[in-house]
Amino acid sequence: MKLYSTNNKNLRISFKEAVFNSMPQDKGLYMPVEIPQLDPDFIKNIEQYSLPEIAYKVASALLRDEIPDEDLKALIEDAINFEAPALKLDEDTYVLELFHGPSLAFKDFGARFMSRVMAYFLKDGEQLLDVLVATSGDTGGAVALGFLGVPNTRVTILYPEGKVSPIQELQLTTNGQNIRAIEVKGTFDDCQALVKQAFADEELNAKFRLTSANSINISRLIPQTFYYFNTFAQLKKQGFDEVIFSVPSGNFGNIGAGLLAYKLGLPVKKFIAATNINDTVPRFLESGIYETKPSTQTYSNAMDVGAPSNWIRIMDLFNQDVEALKKVVTSYRFNDEETLAGIIDIDVKFDYVACPHTAIAYLAIEKYRKEKPEDKSAAVFLSTAHACKFPDIFPSDIAAKIEIPEQVKALESKSHHADKLGVDFEGFKNYLLSRVN
Ligand SMILES: *Cc1c(COP(=O)(O)O)cnc(C)c1O
């Protein structure tokens, strides 16, 4: 697999380089030079394969000879060791539960695959890989749990004091081993500024092998294609041969992976990009003007993104052809009031508790069906996180129905620890320097 930068199509770098660099110097994003068409026979018989088997087929088509077959198979089986069931809610509506991994959010797919790919490329005796992440909640947990116990790696997570939910905090602070958590007396932006300064600091770069593990890394995108194929396989078993996916979107990595799956040959009728009022993309598709703005806080806070970082990848997949893109992608926005009404509606209609992000994806399907009653395709909305991660959003009668998964119960009895730091960079730098190994 060779990759170019969306800002320089002549660039050619290897998968390994793209994984460790995360982002090209020219501030574009890495994209595969070749997007092969998967074998039509594989798609035709896809319902006969398991999720890890599908994952292997897709990954090996993309990666080619970057990782030998047997190693890739083992890596996938280790990384994708949980289910992604598409639950039937009515005749033709399904919810795709992507929260059965250790951090209870879909980001586990990306983080677990990335951590294992990085560990694979770190040869014996190579310098310890130091992963720095700033988190507002979900990313930190997925990265921490993704790298937990992975040899030759160490993760440092910075999170803002008092601004992550209790379960998210437990996921960050109960790990030990190669994971350390720092509670920063400040906001998410302060955490991110500290991490950015660390990457720019000469002395730190000389002493440590730093990497960012952030969501634009190509090795996080690839594993997110797996569950689109696997969902199609599940629906095919039920007699459908075309689907609509509705994806709750923030940085547009998840839907970007869906569109990559589409380009690899997955038969999809429509993708719906569902956002909260941080609606840069729906506005763009309406007006043709791409205008980012500062993010606004909402109930679906993992989607509070005013400048979606993966959008340039999607434009690249469609060769900047907005009309071609609009044939495949529709986009709707919903505010907090509508989100809450959506949560209640899903509870009443299906006796199902959806997290606020998931509820937005559901609302988008409802809206699409009103606008396009002639489209009778089966529709799947992606559930990106378990409801228990956002306990404050729900009316009390719905909150009472949320079952706390085993993973979380186990965390509650564990000891937890976070180091505490202020927002000054010198303090963070000294912290890192005083812990060389
Ligand atoms: C990260 C996240 C999203 C947004 O996904 P993108 O890939 O950034 O579009 C949606 N829902 C939840 C729960 C998330 O954690």
Domain ranges of the chain: 68-102+219-399
Q: How confident is the model at residue 8 (pLDDT cuts 50, 70, 90)?
A: very high
The token pair at 409 is 């119960």
**Dist. CA 352 → ligand 1 center (Å):** 20
Specify whether 269 is catalytic: no
Answer whether 138 contacts ligand 1 (Cβ < 6 A).
yes
Place of tokens 């009728």: 269
Dihedral angle of Cα 23, 24, 26, 31, to the nearest 10 degrees: -90
Does the pLDDT at position 124 exceed 90? no
Ligand 1 mutation pick, 281, 357, 393, max ligand atoms within 8 A of CB: 357
Q: What's the average model confidence in pLDDT over 199-206? A: 92
2-5 β-sheet, strand order: 8-14, 2-5, 30-32
Name beta bridge partners: 385: 105
Is there a contact between 244 and 365 (Cβ–Cβ < 8 Å)?
A: yes
pLDDT at 164: 87
Q: Which two three-digit tokens encode residue 117?
A: 């790919």
Kindly state the tokens that stand for 406. Answer: 């085993």
pLDDT given at position 213: 82
Whether the CB of 190 sits within 6 Å of ligand 1: no
Q: Could you tell me which residues come within 8 angstroms of residue 303 by beta carbon, excluding any fewer than 6 positions away?
A: 248, 249, 250, 275, 276, 278, 357, 360
Provide the token pair at 27: 């501030």
Sign for the CA dihedral angle at 273, 279, 285, 286 comes to: positive
**8 Å CB contact between 212 and 195:** yes
Whether residue 140 contacts residue 167, with contact meaning beta carbons closer than 8 Å, is answered with no
72 band by pLDDT with thresholds 50, 70 and 90 = very high
pLDDT for position 367:
98
57 lines ligand 1 (CB under 6 A): no
| One-letter amino acid for residue 217 of the chain | N
In this prediction the pTM is 0.94
Q: Whose CA is closest to 139, among 378, 359, 385, 321?
A: 385
Model confidence at 408, pLDDT cuts 50, 70, 90, reads confident
Contact 357 CB / ligand 1 (< 6 Å): yes
Compute the distance from residue 183 Cα to the ligand 1 centre, in Å. Answer: 22
Residue 435 pairs in a beta bridge with none
In this structure, the residue with its CA closest to atom 1 of ligand 1 is 302
| Contact of 244 with 380, CB cutoff 8 Å | yes
Query: At 123, is the pLDDT very low, low, confident or very high (cuts 50, 70, 90)?
Result: confident
CB-facing half-sphere around the CA of 338: CA atoms within 13 A: 17
Distance 298 CA to ligand 1 centre (A): 13
Which residue in 107, 163, 236, 367 is the catalytic one? 107
> Would you say 147 and 178 are in contact if contact means Cβ atoms under 8 Å apart?
yes
Q: Which residues face 140 on adjacent strands?
A: none
| Cβ neighbour number for residue 111 with a 10 Å cutoff | 32
Atom of ligand 1 nearest to the CA of 138: 15
pLDDT tens string 336-353: 999 999 999 999 999 999
Atom number, ligand 1, closest to the C-alpha of residue 357: 11
Cβ–ligand 1 contact at 220 (below 6 Å): no
Q: Is 303 in the pocket of ligand 1 (CB under 6 A)?
A: yes
**R_g over Cα of the chain:** 21
Contacts of 208 (CB under 8 A, 6+ apart): 128, 130, 432
Cβ of 385 closer than 6 Å to ligand 1, yes or no, is yes
Percent of the chain with pLDDT over 90: 83
Q: Do the beta carbons of residue 142 and residue 108 sit within 8 Å? A: yes
Type and span of the H or E element at 332: strand 329-333
DSSP, res 302: G
Query: At the topology level of CATH, where does 68-102+219-399 sit?
Result: Rossmann fold (3.40.50)
For 207-227, what is each residue's pLDDT tens digit?
A: 999 988 877 899 999 999 999
CA of 273 to the centre of ligand 1 (A): 12
Q: What tens digit of pLDDT does each residue of 268-317 get?
A: 999 999 999 999 999 999 999 999 988 888 999 899 988 898 999 999 99
- In this prediction, residue 354 carries a pLDDT of 98
Q: How far does the centroid of ligand 1 lie from the alpha carbon of residue 400, in Å?
A: 25
